[in-house]
Amino acid sequence: MFQNPDLLKLEGKNVILEKLNSQASYSDLYEMAISDSCGGEKLLQFMNFGPFESIYEFRDWLRIQEENNTRKTYTIYWKERKKYVGMYSILNIDCTCGRAELGSIWIGTIAQRTKVNSECAFLCLSMLFDNFRYRRIEWKCDNENINSKISAQKLGFTFEGIFRKHMIVKNKNRDTAWFSIIEDEWPNVKMNLEQKLASNI
């Protein structure tokens, strides 16, 4: 039996992942999720939530996520901008088999193509593999979400295939692309991520 991962905070050089506190983060996150300058509806087009009509609807949605005990939801605080810029979740946690998924990930466009996503993934993967000795971590996304598929492979996840007609999201069929990292691969993946984060690129 594996332990349920439940660290309140994960901190790196660039970001702090904090367990979701809707009161502390909703204003910044709403700006990321809604503002045209930060991507607007396009940012959430592949998510099973949003768009949001108002900041109040968004805050209510955040509160529901905060109370969800089946997943660990973190807000991303970007130190450089001193703002919350997105969310990262650990879900589908299987303490019997030592398996979990990184998902429900969204990051405002101001923090995209930076080290934010790489460091968030590194912090979560390190926690799951190194602290809790998990055996398998998954990444799943809409097969049409090209950016997410590229991101998964850049982070070191291995493509496993397509689950056809896996879900209906926003009244549309979703074929889901599956990726994973297993414990045997983690040392090399970890080394590559550490080198990437240490570089100036």
- 1 within a domain of the structure (yes/no): no
At 198, phi and psi to the nearest 5? Answer: -80, -15
For residue 58, give the amino acid letter. Answer: F
| Domain count of the fold of the chain | 1
pTM: 0.94
Provide the pLDDT for residue 33.
Answer: 85
Matching residue, tokens 């090209």? 146
- 49 within a domain of the structure (yes/no): yes
- Closest residue by Cα to residue 15 from 114, 86, 83, 116: 116
- 95 within a domain of the structure (yes/no): yes
Provide the pLDDT for residue 41.
Answer: 64
- Give the domain CATH number at 43: 3.40.630.30
Contact 106, 44 (CB under 8 A): yes
Longest dimension (CA), the chain: 46
- 173 within a domain of the structure (yes/no): yes
Per-residue pLDDT of the chain (201 residues; tens, 9 = 90+): 899 998 999 999 999 999 999 999 999 999 988 765 455 568 888 999 988 888 999 999 999 999 999 999 999 999 999 999 999 999 999 999 999 999 999 999 899 889 999 999 999 999 999 999 999 999 999 999 999 999 999 999 999 999 999 999 999 999 999 999 999 999 999 999 999 999 965
At 173, phi and psi to the nearest 5? Answer: -65, 140
Q: How far is CA 85 from the centre of its chain?
A: 12
- 110 within a domain of the structure (yes/no): yes
Provide the pLDDT for residue 35.
Answer: 67
For residue 34, give the amino acid letter. Answer: I
Instruction: Quote the domain boundaries for residue 76.
Output: 9-196
